[in-house]
Amino acid sequence: MAQPILKPIERQRKNVGSPKERVEDLRFLRGKGIYVDDVKKEDVLHVSILRSPIAHGLIKSIQTDEAKKLPGVVAILTAKDVVDLCGSVPLIPIRLHHNPILDSYKQPVIASDKVRFVGEAIALVVAKTPAIAEDAMGLIELDIESLEVAADIQTALTNEVKLFSDPRGNSPLSYQSKKGNAQLVFDNAAYTRKEKFVIQRISAMTMETRGVLAQWKSESQELFVFGAAKVPFWNRAALANMLAMEKDHVQLIENDVGGSFGARGEFYTEDFLIPFAAKTLGATIKWIEDRLEHLTSMNQARDCDAQVEIACDREGRILGFRGHMNYDLGAYPRTNGLVAPRNITQFLTGPYKVENVDISCDIVFTNKTPSGTLRAPGRFESNFFCERLLELAAKDLGIDPVEIRRKNVLTPRDMPYPFPTISPSLIDHTADTECDSGDYRETLERCVKDFKWHELQHLQGQMVDGVYHGLGLSCFIEGGSAGPRENAKLRLDKDGLITFSVGSTSVGQGVETVLTQIAADELDIEMSDIVMLHGSTTLLHEGWGSYHSRSTVMGGSAVTNATDLFKEEIRLRASAVLKCDPSQVSVSAGLATSSQGGSVSWNELVNSTPIEVMGTFASHHHTYAYGCAAAHVSVDPKTGRIKVLDYLVVEDVGRAINPLTVHGQLVGGTVQGMSGTLLEHIVHDQQGQLLTGSLADYLIATATDFPVIRAVVLEQHPSPLNPLGAKGAGEGGTICVGGAIGNAVANALGSLNLEPTSLPLSPMRVWEMIHGV
Amino acid sequence: MQLKMTVNGKTFEADVPSRLNLADCIRHEMDLTGTHVACEHGVCGACTVLVNGEAVRSCLMLAVQANGQSVLTVEGLSDDDELSALQASFRKHNALQCGFCTPGFITTAHALLTKEPHCDEDRIREVLSGNLCRCTGYVPIVQAVLDARVAYQQVGAQ
Amino acid sequence: MKSTDFNYISPTSLEEAIQILDQHEGEVKIISGGQSLMPILNYRLASPQLLVDLQAIPSLSQVSITPSGTTLGARVRWVDIELHQGLRDAQPLLCAAIDHVAHYQIRNRGTVGGSLAHADPAAEMPGLAVALEGVLHLQGPQGLRHVKAVDFFLGQLSTSIASNEILVAIDLPFWPHDRRWGFTEFSRRKGDFALAGAAVWFDLSASGVASNVHIGLIGTGEKPMRLVSAEAKLNDQILSETLIQNVTLDCLSAMSFQGDIHASEKYRRALMLEMISKSFAQALHHI
């Protein structure tokens, strides 16, 4: 397919490529960040949300009389009130990969007749303080008739319990990816191996829980909503539509955001309910999610099973992959719920050259919290399946694990390398996608070398001081820079400050700093002379946001375009003043200089009329950062405890705009992946009740768990797809952890002939595997 | 109930509900929103403040229990213009990303380094294991605290 | 997660506190460090009408080391134990176990009395109280009574304290300098509650014969206890790794353990075996 050729701008760079300290830190470190619960408004009313205590049921009645009598309670709103304002209960649209099949499965913004998961919103209590709202909630009498529960994939697939009335049942949609002729290859291959895998459900567990503050201004009939994140423009359009309001009367304001990892910022029921309450009551309404709510109602992820098969020749060259997965999406398709099952299907082959593929993935609805994307959606999962299978093949064929990877990873002569086409793909510009650039052997070799892989082989599978030692590898790709577009407005007023307004959003990744670095270099000015505003719908007419590791590439390229347009405008204005042709004007560092003599400052040129230009960058092509990780673990057979003794991840990101922050993403992503591989587990019982409802039960990594994490960032192969040469690099650290640790544990237990195929690798589960329980 | 305490060197006096916890009191009665609430059950450490020089989880203390006590929050650790040595070290090491856990780490590290300016990496990790971070993976936080020791050692030596 | 409403009082004497407990209609809870109680209140698992704070009552925070033993006041905090000069010599097993409790911030507030009264079977202090044969001091309107730790703990989060009594101190017997001891616990992460823990101590004669064997179990699920059957089989024996292993395995197999999402019954039993083995190994190798 035709490849756009955009040569990365090669110039002497002052800021880009430099490990600049972040501008955001100045307020965060002093406790001056403004997160949604820090926003100060007058006369704020607080909301507590009554949520379903059971996983599947029919709502018979909601008695609110007692609750309404409690002093300090202002109102209690239910579906009835929503219907009064909107005519019907709005359904949440699907933002990515929508398919009309799912229309009858969409999530209502509030439960009216049926509840489908523990945590589903049923009523809003509006009161003077959060504590009173919670008190009142305890006085509401809820009568729900229990229905049978389908709490797991296998139960849901029988369709004995159906969540929806659609005849398609609990598994209405399937993804497929095909390439070559898998059937033929598998029929004739010298070696095939089939395995089943299971990955557990986890939560994004952002440090800041969700929150929405909505203010209704009756004079102007405008709605202001604070606490926006990730994709404010899309969310604004969805909300305006639900409330039958003009878009420009609904503003979503981005404050500081305490982490997203893909989960915060997707349109939730509360993103309708709180603004709805503000409009209905003509008031300023605030809701701050508590941690228990977070664990029941914020997007969860992973939760899938797979049966996958690899075919190789005798020398270990991969001939094909085939298999089937089931992906548990919880009770409803979320705005981005389809991304993970789709990704798992398209990207199973990862960084390897595989010519024959036949993969399918069924989505399955169950009576659990709805699922969406979580850092490396579908990619973490597919890496685990692929890497474990490859490791098994290496073992069975007697081929060195480094060698089998070296034989199969993509090299420059393979580029661009197409993935299998995914279907269905109704509005999916990346149904066809290809690896853009790189030599995937380089990161493998660098990892093996820096890790001292060969020198450590004598420990492989050995018992030392009562524990087994194991080493494992995982090669990976990281798709990033999702399209379709991003916008960046640049304004220069006579106050002399260059102000950018970009559609990219901050989720803690340092976007303000990175974009400022790019802008400062393009304009040859100081970073401190630039204001970088982002996210809020008040800033631009249209924007996209931060997801799929796109802000540096998409936002950065839009900023670059804006600076180009700005310089054009400066040249034009300067040419009039300096009486020369615009092509004779050079623009830099606050000055416009004519080659014919004379110069004028930018400030003089905007004295009467500010300059405002709109930069934009459009692309449907994903970039592919890539790398390799190596892990050294010990496994204690008496307790099942796994210790990660050493871990190294090497990733080539094309170009690192800020080496400090991209290294931080790699380390942070790795630890999050470790946490998801070894510690975290959202557990529901057969009745769909959450058993891990506190942070004492839902375990995330702490400072003592993974003390040795090493990361190396390479820039050997810039991307040809954007002027920065950068590749999205926020998720790579996470992607490869399951594979690396899984392989290391398998190798540690090699003498026991045990193959871990299911996550998490908790001490109990490892012990059970070792002791045949 | 009547409450009178010192916060960041200033007296705070108010009539507060018995059930108001110290974190909510600091955040909403005093407008010091640097202290963050992230779990309300004493696990995550985002709400850490110093009470009489000791790091505590302010979500597990009632505001009225701070009556007569001296409280230090993250806002009290630097003046408006400058970062403290500890804060500057965090910035240098990229020891924060979304920033939500950061005030809790800063106050905890400040308490630790004030009492133990010669602590080693194991001790730092042990103490910081009571604070959750979802973004950084802890590696740069530990580096930042290690690097900041020298500033506290100099203070101790004076 | 805001708690329900309650009244709060901070009496300045023990007598005043007991009088309040004795006379109050409706549910009263005592708050000491608050590290166990506050999460319970925030999750609305308890809705007391009145909270009685012990913080202003003098003389509950003493650590007293005498020739007859050690007395810890109810308000002694984990950090106080950590930093106390002399306690590590006087009660080495106690101090080694308390090193595992919770985290930095919690250790500045959490108290001995609070943990004992709360009686979480996965917590260290109740397990130690039983393992060390502690005696608890309960002050009520009728005066002071003493209760052996083994009689104090009735079950999960349940003790024999009366609603008008306050736990004011715990006595631990004198600890001879050459006593052998070991403490090991298994938790998912540092500072988490133990899935299984063992506090082991015994005395060794000059000829290497064990006496006074105590095996205290933490995390069985129900309440802190001693593995009395194993103790009986190991007393008056020369302890070897094999003997310990076999006896312990036998006795643990005869016991039932609580299973939950973190540890099944079988796994908990296996962990307990390992914790006991490791604790004995520590004890045998101490100089």
Q: Do B87 and A30 touch (CB under 8 A)?
A: yes
What angle is formed at CA A677 by the lines to CA A731 and CA A411, rounded to 5 degrees?
Answer: 45
Q: For residues B142 and A92, what is the distance between their CA atoms, to the nearest angstrom?
A: 42
Q: For residues C106 and C110, what is the distance between their CA atoms, to the nearest angstrom?
A: 6
Predicted ipTM of the assembly: 0.97
What angle is formed at CA A706 by the lines to CA A703 and CA A709, rounded to 5 degrees?
Answer: 115
The answer to whether A155 touches A161, Cβ cutoff 8 Å, is yes
Q: Do B54 and C108 touch (CB under 8 A)?
A: yes
Asked if B64 reaches chain C (Cβ–Cβ under 8 Å), the answer is yes
- Largest Cα separation within chain C, whole Å, is 63
pLDDT at A495: 84
Q: Which of A556, A585, A549 is nearest to A724 (CA)?
A: A556
Per-residue b or e along C71-93, where b marks 16 or more CB atoms closer than 10 Å to that residue's CB: bbbbbbbbbbbeebeebeebbbb
pLDDT at A12: 58
Q: Which of A396, A206, A382, A378 is nearest to A298 (CA)?
A: A206
Sequence-distant (6+) residues with CB within 8 A of C25 are none
Written as one letter, the residue type at A291 is R
Angstroms from B27 CA to nearest CA on chain C: 15
Asked if B60 reaches chain C (Cβ–Cβ under 8 Å), the answer is yes
Indicate the residue of A208, A257, A704 with minimum beta-carbon distance to B125.
Answer: A704
Sequence-distant (6+) residues with CB within 8 A of A463 are A469, A751
Q: With 50 as the cut, is the pLDDT of residue A5 above it?
A: no
Q: For residues A265 and A484, what is the distance between their CA atoms, to the nearest angstrom?
A: 18
Per-residue b or e along A740-766, where b marks 16 or more CB atoms closer than 10 Å to that residue's CB: bbbbbbbbbbbeeebbbbebbbbbbbb
Q: What sign results for the dihedral spanned by CA atoms A320, A325, A327, A333?
A: positive
> Residue for token digits 């994939």?
A153
pLDDT at A236: 98
Q: Which of A351, A342, A327 is nearest to A482 (CA)?
A: A342
- The 10s digit of each residue's pLDDT in A469-511 is 999 999 999 998 888 899 999 999 988 889 999 999 998 889 9
pLDDT at A425: 82
Q: With 50 as the cut, is the pLDDT of residue A14 above it?
A: yes
CA distance to A177, A345, A493, A578, A580, per residue, from A599 (Å): 59, 58, 19, 7, 11
Q: Do C189 and A138 touch (CB under 8 A)?
A: no
| Residue A196, helix vs strand vs coil | strand
pLDDT at A10: 53
> Residue for token digits 């202090």?
C125
Q: Which residue has the higher pLDDT, A431 or A225?
A: A225
Q: Do B127 and C104 touch (CB under 8 A)?
A: yes
The answer to whether A625 touches A728, Cβ cutoff 8 Å, is yes
Q: With 50 as the cut, is the pLDDT of residue A131 above it?
A: yes
Please state the rounded mean pLDDT for residues A121-137. 98
Q: Which residues pair with A286 in a beta bridge?
A: A46, A213
Cis upstream peptide for A760 (omega within 30°): yes
Please state the rounded mean pLDDT for residues A241-268. 97
Q: Which of B9, B40, B106, B24 is nearest to A28 (CA)?
A: B106
In percent, the amount of chain C with pLDDT more than 90 equals 96
Q: With 90 as the cut, is the pLDDT of residue A13 above it?
A: no
> Residue for token digits 């696990």?
B43
* Strand order across the beta sheet in which A57-63 lies: A114-115, A57-63, A141-146
Q: Give, as one character, the DSSP assignment of residue A724.
A: T
Asked if B142 reaches chain A (Cβ–Cβ under 8 Å), the answer is yes
Written as one letter, the residue type at A682 is I
Q: Do C4 and A135 touch (CB under 8 A)?
A: yes
Written as one letter, the residue type at B95 is A
| Residue A18, helix vs strand vs coil | coil
Q: For residues A727 and A734, what is the distance between their CA atoms, to the nearest angstrom?
A: 16
Ranking A240-244, A304-308, A547-551, A680-684 by mean pLDDT, the lowest is: A547-551
- Relative orientation angle of helices B139-157 and A659-678, to the nearest 10 degrees: 110
Structure tokens at A472: 């494992």
- pLDDT category at A2 given cuts 50, 70, 90 is very low
- pLDDT category at C60 given cuts 50, 70, 90 is very high
Minimal-distance CA residue of chain B relative to C105: B56
Q: Which residues of A touch B39 (CB under 8 A)?
A: 291, 694-695
Q: With 70 as the cut, is the pLDDT of residue A7 above it?
A: no
Please state the rounded mean pLDDT for residues A67-84. 98
Q: Which of A75, A216, A208 is nearest to A136 (CA)?
A: A75
- The 10s digit of each residue's pLDDT in B94-152 is 999 999 999 999 999 999 999 999 999 999 999 999 999 999 999 999 999 999 999 99
Structure tokens at C205: 């004669």
The answer to whether A325 touches A304, Cβ cutoff 8 Å, is yes
Minimal-distance CA residue of chain A relative to C264: A764
Indicate the residue of B54, B108, B130 with minimum beta-carbon distance to C191.
Answer: B130
pLDDT at A1: 38
pLDDT at A642: 98
Q: Do A667 and B132 touch (CB under 8 A)?
A: no
Q: Which of A640, A659, A655 is nearest to A760 (CA)?
A: A640
Q: Do C5 and A131 touch (CB under 8 A)?
A: yes
Q: Which residue has the higher pLDDT, C189 or A622?
A: C189
Asked if B12 reaches chain A (Cβ–Cβ under 8 Å), the answer is no
pLDDT at A428: 74
Structure tokens at A645: 């003794």
Minimal-distance CA residue of chain C relative to B115: C83
3-state SS, chain B, equals CEEEEEECCEEEEEECCCCCEHHHHHHHHCCCCCCCCCCCCCCCCCCEEEECCEEEEHHHCEHHHHCCCEEECHHHHCCCCCCCHHHHHHHHCCCCCCCCCHHHHHHHHHHHHHHCCCCCHHHHHHHHCCCCCCCCCCHHHHHHHHHHHHHHHHHHHC
What integer best gives the mean pLDDT of chain A?
95
3-state SS, C60-102, equals CCCEEEECCEEEEECCCEHHHHHHCCCHHHHCHHHHHHHCCCC
Output the pTM of the full model: 0.96
